[in-house]
Amino acid sequence: MKKRMLTAAFAGLLALSMALAGCGGGQETQQSANNQQSQQPAPAAEPAQTGPKQLIVGRGGDSVGLDPITVTDGESFKVTENIFDTLVSYEEDNTNVVPGLAEKWEVSPDGLTYTFTLRQGVKFHDGTDFNAEAVKFNFDRWMDKNNPLHNKEGFEYYNDMFGGYKGDETHVIKSVDVVDPYTVKFTLNRPLAPFLQNLGMSCFAIASPTALKEMGPEKFNEHPVGTGPFKFVEWKRNDTITLEKNPDYWQKGYPKLDKLVFKVIPENTARLTALTSGEIDLMDGLNPDDAQTVKDNKDLQLILRPSMNIGFVGFNVEKKPLDNPKVREALAYAINKPAIVESFFAGLGQPAVNPLPPSIWGYNSDIKDREFNLDKAKELLKEAGYPNGFKIKFWAMPVPRPYMPDGVKIAEAIQQDFKKIGVDAEIVTMEWATYLDKTKKGEQEIFLLGWTGDNGDPDNFLATLLDKNNIGGNNRTRWANEEAHKLLMQAQSATSKEEREKLYKQVQEIIFKDVPMVPLAHSTPALAAKANVINYKPHPKGSESLEKVDIQQ
Amino acid sequence: MALLSYTIRRILMLIPVLFGMSIVVFSIIHAIPGDPALTILGERASAKAVEELREALGLNQPWYLQYFHYLKDILTGNLGVSLHTKVPISQEIGPYLAATAELTVFSMLFAIIIGVNAGIISAWKQNSWFDYIAMLVALIGVSMPIFWLGLMEQWLFAQELKWLPSVGRDSTRDPVMAITHFYIIDTIIAGKWDQLRDVIDHLILPSIALGTIPMAIIARITRSSMLEVMRSDYIRTARAKGLGQFFVIYKHALKNALIPVLTVIGLQTGLLLGGAVLTETIFGWPGIGRYIYTAIGNRDYPVIQSGILVIATIFVLINLLVDLLYAYVDPRIKYR
C-alpha cells in the first residue's frame, strides 16, 4: 500500500519534469538542423533561408527616444542613424565630412553663409518630399523656443553646438532660408569653424515635417519618420526595436537587409551566450576578457570600434607642487601606459599620446610619447627641487566609464609607480556627482577623468578640456596657457580646414611640453558578430547606419 | 459575517501601511547625498540646467509642500513622468508589470509544485535517502546565487545543448504581437500555437532561476510543517480508522500543514515581483525589476519612486490575499 503511494507521487514528479523537458526536447532536433545551415534557432524562422534577411543586434540598453534631436545617448543614436539622414555625413572610419542629404555646399569667404544644394528625389518614409522647406522646418523647430514643436526642456545638443537658441547673444545661426526647392542657405551671426562638422552629428537629422506636425513631438519620439535606409516598425520598451527596409532609399542598391532588430540584453555574458546560440547576430559591449573566446570561435568574428575618447590623468596646475611643469613632466615619466592598457583595458585600447584620439583629423602624429622611465622621473624631480618626493592626493573616479574601466584600480597601479620616485599619493574617491562638482571647482590635486567626443571636431577635445575659457567648466586642470588659448581661438574662427589642422597640431605640441594632463588611453570598444555578417564598419562616434551590412547565405 | 468584517478591517489597516510607504518612497530623492538635480544631470550640466531641473522637480519648495504635491499626484493616479524617456510612468509601466507577472506566476508554479511535493515526501519518508537528498538540494537551492545559476543554465541549455532559448520573452525572429502584454494570453488570442510554445520555452530557464530559492524554502517549510502535523492526535485517529497513507497525508495532514506554507508562498511571490532584477537582467526580460534597476543607473528618480511604490502596493495586496486565504484553508481560524 505504502509503496504504491510513493510510486504515484514519484510518477507525478516525473510527469512534471518530463513536461518541462519535453518543451525543449522537441525543439532540439529542429534547432540542431537549423544551426548547421543558417544559425536561425527559432522554428518559426526557418523560411529565413530563402526569405527576408534580418539582422538582430544585441545591446546593453534601450533607446531613450527616437526623435534624434531630443536625445543625447548612444543607444538612441544607434537606432535613429538608420531611420534618419543628416545634411552632411562622415567617412566610414573617421570624422571627415562627406555629403549626405546635401550633395554639395559653398561657404562664403567670411564664413558667414553656407549654401547647400540638396539631393533631389529623396522621400520621407511617409511619402512626402525631402526639400529645402523640410530643412528649414527642422532648423526653425530646433532654434526657436517659441516654435510649437520645440521641447520645453530644449534640445541639449543644439544648445551646446550652436551657442543657444534664437535670440541668445551667443546663438550662431541667424537664419535658414529657402533659395529654391533644392537649395537652402544658412546665414550665421558669427563664423563657427566646426559648423559642417556639427551638421553631421546624428542628432541633427532631418525629420518629416508632415509626420511631426500630425503626430506632435511626443508621439513622433516613439514613431519616427525620416529619410534613412530603414523604416520604423515597432518599439517594445526595454526589449526590441524593429525596423524594416526602406525600398525607396536614395542610395541605390541599399539597404541590403530586409529587417533590422535591436534587442536589449543587459548582461554582457548573457548577450554573448545569445550570440553563440544564434538568437542574435551581432552584439556590442563585449567584455574585454571575452575577446579571446570570440576570436577562438570560428562561427564568430571580433570587430573593434575605432576610438573617439580619451582617459587621462589630470593635474590641477593651481595646486603646489603641480604648478611646476618639471614636476608634472616627472610624473608623466612615472606612468606606465602600456601596462595600464594591457591590464585594465584587456588590451582593447591604445596608449594615448595626445588628448585628441587618432581617429579625429588634426591629430598630431609627429609627437613621440615619453617612455616609462623612473630614473628620468627622479632626475626631473630633483631638478624641480623635490629630491625626496612629496605627498599628494590622487582623486579617482568611483564609476566605470568607457574611457576608464576602473578608476580606483588604475589609480592604485599608478600610485605604486609614484611611490618608487618618492611621491606618496593618497587615493581619494567619492560619489560621482560630488566628484564632478568638486573637480569642476578645482578642489582636487591629481585626478582621473576622460571625455568622449561629440562631433569629431578637434575643438571638441582640445578647447573643451584645456582652453582657459573652460576653467570652471570642463577644463578641470585649470591650465590657463595664453599661447594655447590664442591658437585655439584662432582655430575656432578659421574656416579653412587646413589652417585649423595646423593650429591644432601646434596646440598639441604645447600641451605635450607643458603637461597639464597625461593622456592615458583611447579605449576601443569591442563588438562580436556571427561570421556570416559582412560589411559591418563601426564608426568612432559610437553609432552607424547599417545600410551596407549584409548576411552571407 | 465574521469573515466579512475581518476583511473590511484588514483592508482598512492597509491605509496606514500605504501611507507609511508613500513617506518612505518620497524620501528616496532626499536621502541621496548631494544635490539631486546635479546627480541627475551629471558631468556636462550647466548651472542653468541644474537650476531649471530643481525648479521642475519642485526641489526649491519646502519638503512638506513637496510631499503634499506628491501625495496628491499618486492619489489621482499620476505616477509622474520618466526623466529619462519623458513618457508618463503610468503609461510605461504596464508592459513591464505584465512581463514580470508572467514570469512570477511561472516561477511560483515551478516552486510550489516541486517544493510542496518534495516537502511532503520528505516528511512522509523522514530520514530516508529521498529526505536527505531533497533537503540537501533544498539547502543548495536556498544558498544558490541566482546570477550564477542563470548563467550556468544559459551556458548548458542554450549554448551547449541548444534545447532552450537563453534570453527574452519571445523569439526576436518571430516576435509576438503584444495585445495584453501577457504573451501566453496574446499568443492564445492570436491562435499562434507555435509562438505559444516559443513563449513557454522562453519562460522555462528564467522561471527555474527565479523559482529555485522559493522552491527550496517552500520544500523546507512544508517538510517541517508536515512533520509537526503528522504527530498530532487527529492524524493518529485517521490512521487508526484505517485510512490509506496517501489519503491521510494529502487530505487530512496537508490542509493543516499548508498554513505556514501559504504564508511563505505569499511572501515569496511578493519578493519575486520586485526581486527579479537579477533574473530579468541575465535573461534580458523586460520586466519591472529591470525597469527600476535601469532607472537607478539613469538617476531617474520619478521612475524609482513610482516603481517601488507600485511593487510595494502589490506586495501588500498579495499579503492581504494570503491572510484572507487562511480562513478558507483552515476554518478553525476565527477572526475577531
Q: What is the pLDDT of residue B331?
A: 66
A8: which chain B residues are within 8 Å (Cβ-Cβ)?
246
Q: Are strands A54-59 and A282-283 parallel, antiparallel or unpaired?
A: parallel
* Domains, in order of start, for chain A: 1-18+51-83+228-306+524-553 (3.40.190.10), 84-210 (3.90.76.10), 309-523 (3.10.105.10)
B164: which chain A residues are within 8 Å (Cβ-Cβ)?
23-24, 27
Q: Which helix (H) or strand (E) holds A61?
A: none
| Residue A58 amino acid letter | G
CB contact under 8 A, A266 and B284: yes
CB contact under 8 A, B201 and A44: no
Query: Looking at the predicted structure, is the pLDDT value of residue A427 above 70?
Result: yes
Over range B128-141, report the average pLDDT.
90
| Cell (9 digits) for A228 | 534613412
CB contact under 8 A, B85 and A280: no
pLDDT 10s digits, B63-117: 888 888 888 888 888 888 888 888 889 888 999 999 999 999 999 999 999 999 9
Residue with cell 518614409: A125
pLDDT 10s digits, A109-120: 888 999 999 999
Q: Which helix (H) or strand (E) holds A427?
A: strand A424-428
pLDDT 10s digits, A262-273: 999 988 888 999
Least confident of A123-137, A324-338, B47-61: B47-61
CB contact under 8 A, B42 and A431: no
Over range A117-138, report the average pLDDT.
95
| pLDDT top residue among A50 and A292 | A292
Q: What is the pLDDT of residue B49?
A: 72
Smallest Cβ–Cβ distance between B162 and the set A28, A265, A434 belongs to A28
CB contact under 8 A, A12 and B164: no
| Percent of chain B residues past pLDDT 70, beyond the cut | 93
**A48-62, B116-130, B320-334, range with greatest mean pLDDT:** B116-130
| Structure letter (DSSP) for residue A468 | G
Confidence band for A14, pLDDT divided at 50, 70 and 90:
very low
Residues near B275 by beta carbon (within 8 Å), at least 6 away in sequence: B289
Q: Which among B166, B202, B293 is the top mutation candidate for probing chain A, defined by the most A β-carbons within 10 Å of its own β-carbon?
A: B166
A270 Cα to chain B: minimum distance (Å): 6
| Cell (9 digits) for A503 | 593650429
B282: which chain A residues are within 8 Å (Cβ-Cβ)?
267, 270
pLDDT 10s digits, A150-178: 987 778 888 888 888 988 888 999 999 99
**A30-39, A513-522, B302-311, range with greatest mean pLDDT:** A513-522
CB contact under 8 A, B166 and A273: yes
Query: Looking at the predicted structure, is the pLDDT value of residue B42 above 70?
Result: no
Listed residue (A191, A74, A67) closest to A141, CA to CA: A67
C-alpha radius of gyration, chain B, whole number: 24
Listed residue (B314, B230, B233) closest to B275, CA to CA: B314
Query: Looking at the predicted structure, is the pLDDT value of residue A1 above 50?
Result: no
Confidence band for A124, pLDDT divided at 50, 70 and 90:
very high
Listed residue (A270, A235, A282) closest to A76, CA to CA: A235
| pLDDT top residue among A1 and B97 | B97
Q: What is the pLDDT of residue B238?
A: 85
* Contact present, A74 and A61 (Cβ < 8 Å): no
CA terminus-to-terminus distance, chain A: 62
Give CA angle at A401 (A397, A403), nearest 5°: 100
A99 Cα to chain B: minimum distance (Å): 30
pLDDT 10s digits, B249-293: 888 888 888 888 888 888 888 888 766 888 998 899 999 988 988
pLDDT 10s digits, B165-188: 999 998 888 888 888 889 999 999
pLDDT 10s digits, A191-250: 888 899 999 999 999 999 999 999 999 899 999 999 999 999 999 988 999 999 999 999
Region of A51 on the Ramachandran plot (φ > 0 left; ψ -120 to 50 alpha; else beta)? beta
Question: Number of A:B CB contacts under 8 A?
Answer: 175
Domain spans of chain B? 13-75, 94-329
Beta bridge partners of A123: A129
| pLDDT top residue among B46 and A351 | A351
| pLDDT top residue among A332 and A292 | A332
Listed residue (A89, A540, A86) closest to A356, CA to CA: A540
Handedness of CA A350, A509, A198, A63 (dihedral sign): positive
Q: What is the pLDDT of residue B334?
A: 57
Cα–chain-centroid distance for residue B304?
17
Which chain B residue is nearest to residue A42, measuring alpha carbons?
Answer: B171
Least confident of A302-316, B47-61, B169-183: B47-61
Q: What is the mean pLDDT of chain A?
A: 87
Least confident of A203-207, A444-448, A499-503, B331-335: B331-335
Q: What is the pLDDT of residue B207?
A: 94
pLDDT 10s digits, A353-407: 999 999 899 999 999 999 999 999 999 999 999 999 999 999 998 877 778 888 8
Q: What is the mean pLDDT of chain B?
A: 85
Over range A301-307, report the average pLDDT.
91
Q: Which fold has domain B94-329?
A: MetI-like fold (1.10.3720)
CB contact under 8 A, B201 and A24: yes
B34: which chain A residues are within 8 Å (Cβ-Cβ)?
431, 433-434, 437
Over range B226-245, report the average pLDDT.
86
Listed residue (A146, A154, A144, A151) closest to A212, CA to CA: A151
| Percent of chain B residues past pLDDT 90, beyond the cut | 28
B169: which chain A residues are within 8 Å (Cβ-Cβ)?
239
Q: What is the pLDDT of residue B28?
A: 78
Residue with cell 526581486: B275
**Is the interface score ipTM higher than 0.85?**
no
